[in-house]
Homo-oligomer: A and B are copies of this chain.
Amino acid sequence: MARVRISDVATAAGVSTATVSLVLNDRTARISDATRDRVRQAAAEVGYTPNSVARGLRTQRSHTIGLISDRIATTPFAGRMLAGAQDVAREHGYLVFLVDTDADETVEREAIRALADQQVDAMIYACMWHRVVDVPASLPRGTVFLDCRPAGGGFPAVVPDDRAGGVSAVRALVAAGHRRIAYLDVDEPHPPVASDLRHQGYLQVLAEAGIEPDPALHVRGDTSSAGGRQATDRLLDLPDDRRPTALFCFNDRMAAGAYVAAHRRGLAIPQDLSIVGYDDQQLVAAELDPPLTTVALPHYEMGRWAMEVALGIRTPDDLGAPHLMPCPIVDRDSVGPPPATAASDSRRRT
């Protein structure tokens, strides 16, 4: 029941282990075709597959990647990042060690050491939300940052293009005819990067469309359904001429709360209120009634990108700034033209 070793193949084929290794690794060495065939056949017959540990020790390449994350495995949608990284690894014959640190620094330090001891060929440092992170001192250079920006730069990194995502979302609303568009932002404790960028995108589109931003339309709430509902209530309490006809929400859960607030007032979506979310969280966005138009976070693609850089298949264009991955808009049914009554007012240009 013991594993078959290269020496077993050598014996079976009547050659030395060196020859077996040369043949099986397709080394351009002087080995006759007859011997090649004999070795290959012998290897197949005895069912030989090389011991990766022994090979790793000798070649100093383990064909192994370490993926450290703060909590990726337990957050619903972020698993797509893992899938992307995983797929690339598999396509190239790599295996990935996954370590979830639960954002504990001691665990993180231990994990980095353990992965280094296992001689991983590269590491990926992943977060579940787009934010800025301090770079752990022991992290080897070349480590790829996934869905986060290393403070100080100097490492390859990939993050969603949240600004462009904000632009897409708000452009869709402007294109539908809306001019009073609220941004339903997340409140403080949350990492500010994503929300700031989306807000910038929001402001950019307003500027392009010649719409004066109204501070009253930038509200904040808890990143939950309840938070979204409360923030929406505040918007809908505004006097008629200042009330928004469309909402751009920081995420889909808050958008779900906006649905609740609207329905409780008897407002129909999208007839009375248009809503765009963010994240494209399947369980939320697709199951709302009507299904939510939202901006998708390119988790899978970011995961692929990070692994491709880790494996050296792809070289980041610029170490100074993270690679921005586009966030495609997912058109569903929560955006329509503004209600007729609101369509004509509040057209004050700057």
Contact = CB atoms under 8 A, between A and B. Distances in A.
Interface string A33-74: 000000000000000011111101100001010000000011
Nearest to A263: B263
A82 interface: yes
A80 interface: yes
For chain A, the bracket of interface size reads: 35 or more
Contact of A117 (B51, B75, B118, B284): B51
A116 interface: yes
A280 to B, nearest CB: 14
Contacts of A177: none
A111 B95 CA distance: 9
**Which secondary structure dominates where chain A touches chain B?**
helix
A172 B119 CA distance: 53
A53 B111 CA distance: 16
**Which residue of A3, A226, A284, A287 has the most chain B CB atoms within 10 A of its CB atom?**
A287
Contact of A73 (B53, B82, B113, B281): B82
A253 B287 contact: yes
Contacts of A73: 73, 79, 82-83, 86
A28 to B, nearest CB: 24
A98 interface: yes
B90 A118 contact: no
A225 interface: yes
A334 to B, nearest CB: 16
Nearest to A114: B95
A17 interface: no
Contact of A53 (B74, B77, B90, B119): B119
A51 B287 contact: no
A117 B62 CA distance: 11
Contact of A287 (B77, B110, B225): B225
A76 interface: yes
Interface string A128-167: 0000000000000000000000000000000000000000
A256 interface: yes
A256 B57 CA distance: 54
Nearest to A224: B287
Contacts of A225: 287
A51 B253 contact: no
A206 interface: no
A269 to B, nearest CB: 14
A273 interface: no
A115 interface: yes
A260 interface: yes
A253 B283 contact: yes
Contacts of A57: 51, 53-54, 57
A111 to B, nearest CB: 8
A303 to B, nearest CB: 10
Interface string A77-106: 101101100100010010111111010000
Given A97-B97, A98-B98, 18 more contacts: A51-B117, A51-B119, A52-B114, A52-B119, A53-B56, A53-B62, A73-B79, A73-B82, A74-B83, A79-B79, A83-B100, A86-B99, A86-B100, A95-B118, A96-B97, A226-B287, A256-B287, A283-B283
